[in-house]
Amino acid sequence: MDSRLATAARVGDIAPFHVMEVQTAARALEAAGRSVVHMEIGEPDFPTPAPVLAAAQRAIARGDIYYTSALGLPELRAAIARHYADHYGVAVAPERVIVTAGSSAALLLVMALLVDRGDRILLSDPGYPCNRHFVRVLEGEPAGVPVGAETNYQLSADLIDAHWTPATRGVLIASPSNPTGTTVPAEEMRRIAATVARRGGRLIVDEIYLGLSYDLGPTGRPRSVLAIAADAADDLFVVSSFSKFFNMTGWRLGWLIAPERHVRDLEKLAQNLYISPATVSQRAALACFTPETLAVLEERRRAFEARRDFLVPALRELGFVIPVMPSGGFFVYADSSRFSSDSERFCRDVLEGAGVAITPGIDFGTHRAAAHVRFAYTIEMSKLEDGVARLARYLGR
């Protein structure tokens, strides 16, 4: 082929999202008249809260559609900082908060800031697939570290130490995680922060699912890494989003809390990569932190918790192995090897045979991927019950 018509080598290393393929197959079945229970979808089923919609409508009516600062509206940066004080009991300077086009853009900004050609970033395998692609697009090396039940399906300080090489630049952890829903225990997170600092690397923590944490104990509040590893807080990068807890996936709005000395460079990157986050979305998001909206979101958090409390024991009863109870988000990562040694095939068969859509482990890495599937509880309880009943019939349980 004419080499001028070829695409860059990096494109060949970007894997498609298999979950999208599951979704396409599920939709095709539905178009043919079959009913499908969707347990593959990675976004909340709840609508954006009414006060947030109303704030967006007001912004549109005013014609408030012009670019904002690349760092985001100052009042939204201040509101996010206040949310950390009110909700997580941790002081964050508004100057450290950068509003982004979804947490996806926050992750891309951090990687663009830190990763040079050949630099390694340690990630958990299984983990959120886009992370390794962000690193690859920047010519870095995403280093997937196999994790299992013994470390809550998360990186640990010991694993980080064992996998550190001279080319390692940093560590990215999502807690709670996609696909496992598990959280790094506070004591381990402190050890991780200390280990990464001792190694001279950077710690990035993706807290997109933190608002959707369960089993909260007496305080009733989840703990941000900024509070847990308070000594290291000024040097941490924390990524979060309006997508999941605030039910705003399609609005494409998230944020990054960065060390203050890097904000100017991140601003330059944001200016050049996408100019600014969406203005109407930012105006809408200002209504996220009112008591009215937060009350609705708390109710929904409890609904997710009730779904988890139904689904995990029900799946265990069917024969799926789930060694660690997920403590956040809306995913269950289950060992399906009792039913099949090929989870991709198993997902296809379950969709065809039971009319239940689930995601194969291959979407999240390579470590024991063929032995795992991901269930999402982003559907209402009656549908979850239907899904479990269908699986029980199909698996002969």
Ligand X SMILES: Cc1ncc(COP(=O)(O)O)c(C=O)c1O
Site of interaction with ligand X (CB under 6 A)? 42, 102-104, 128, 174, 178, 206, 208, 241, 243, 249, 254
- Work out how close the CB of 111 gets to ligand X at its nearest, in angstroms, rounded to a whole number: 13
Cβ closer to ligand X: 44 or 201? 44
Cβ closer to ligand X: 73 or 354? 73
How are beta strands 359-360 and 37-38 bridged, if at all? Answer: unpaired
H-type helices in 35-168, by residue range? 50-62, 74-88, 102-114, 129-137, 157-163
**DSSP assignment, residue 73?**
-
Cβ closer to ligand X: 164 or 330? 330
How are beta strands 202-206 and 168-174 bridged, if at all? Answer: parallel
- Token look-up 């590893």 returns 229
- Work out how close the CB of 121 gets to ligand X at its nearest, in angstroms, rounded to a whole number: 14
- Work out how close the CB of 244 gets to ligand X at its nearest, in angstroms, rounded to a whole number: 7
Cβ closer to ligand X: 104 or 224? 104
- Token look-up 């960065």 returns 258
- Work out how close the CB of 19 gets to ligand X at its nearest, in angstroms, rounded to a whole number: 10
Cβ closer to ligand X: 178 or 281? 178
Cβ closer to ligand X: 174 or 270? 174
- Work out how close the CB of 254 gets to ligand X at its nearest, in angstroms, rounded to a whole number: 4
Chain position whose Cβ is nearest to ligand X: 102
Report angle CA 228, 229, 234 to the nearest 5 degrees.
125
Cβ closer to ligand X: 168 or 178? 178
CA distance 348 to 197: 44
- For the CA atoms of 259, 330, 78, 231, the dihedral, rounded to the nearest 10 degrees, stands at -40
Nearest to 38 by CA among 373, 383, 326: 383
- Work out how close the CB of 103 gets to ligand X at its nearest, in angstroms, rounded to a whole number: 3
- Work out how close the CB of 71 gets to ligand X at its nearest, in angstroms, rounded to a whole number: 17
How are beta strands 237-241 and 254-257 bridged, if at all? Answer: antiparallel
Q: Which residues touch 160 (CB under 8 Å, ≥6 apart)?
A: 122, 145, 171, 192, 195, 196, 199
